[in-house]
Amino acid sequence: MEKIASRFIWALDLLNVQPSDRILEIGCGHGVAVSVIGDLLDQGKITGIDRSFDMVELARQKNRAHLKSGKAVIQPVSLDRADFGHERFDRVFAINVSLFEQQADRGLDIIRDALVPGGRLFVFFQPPNSSKTRELADRTIGNLRANGFAIERVSFKDIDPATATCIEATVATVA
């Protein structure tokens, strides 16, 4: 059995996956979170995207049973080129994806459109050095707010080798 990194365990705990959730993981890598979440789903589905064809192939191999059952879809595409059609998600998350600390207007537009009303975006990151954690959090929060998201909660957790962060956001309502 594969050992799961502490940041993934913490992220999965904060996501609080329910059996019927529809979830999008941005930057699914070799499919660790897809595998764990797929085990938790009953009627739900996890969609994993990654811009690396090699990572997608590894994720597909690891998650053959979830793909076959319809609990998982794994696509080789970057967020800014993704098209989810009419599919909507209860939760969207990313772990250590630098997109959110940068100018991410197109990607955040896609996420905003892909979330169900009341859906949540979870941005997790763990820089190699804790001295960068607050700066990354502030920059990410600023980008999310500038792109129509309301920050619901910011969590920090000391996980070796550095402090990890979760920024939880929803689509801001216009008053």
CATH of domain 6-171: 3.40.50.150
pLDDT of residue 1 exceeding 60, the answer is no
Q: Taking residues 10-14, what's their average pLDDT?
A: 94
User: Over the stretch 116-129, which tens digit does the pLDDT of each residue have?
Assistant: 999 999 999 998 88
User: Over the stretch 131-171, which tens digit does the pLDDT of each residue have?
Assistant: 888 999 999 999 999 999 999 999 999 998 889 999 999 99
DSSP 63-93: THHHHHHTSEEEEE--GGG---TT--EEEEE
The answer to whether residues 161 and 114 touch, using CB atoms and an 8 Å cutoff, is no
Parse the chain into domains and list their residue ranges.
Answer: 6-171
Q: Taking residues 90-96, what's their average pLDDT?
A: 96
User: Over the stretch 14-49, which tens digit does the pLDDT of each residue have?
Assistant: 999 999 999 999 999 999 999 999 999 999 999 999
Where does residue 100 fall: left (phi above 0), alpha (psi -120 to 50 degrees), or beta otherwise? alpha
pLDDT of residue 110 exceeding 80, the answer is yes
Antiparallel, parallel or unpaired: β 22-26 and 72-76: unpaired
pLDDT of residue 174 exceeding 90, the answer is no
The answer to whether residues 71 and 35 touch, using CB atoms and an 8 Å cutoff, is no
Half-sphere exposure of 17 (CA within 13 A, CB side): 26
Q: Residue 82: which of 37, 113, 38 has the closest Cα?
A: 113
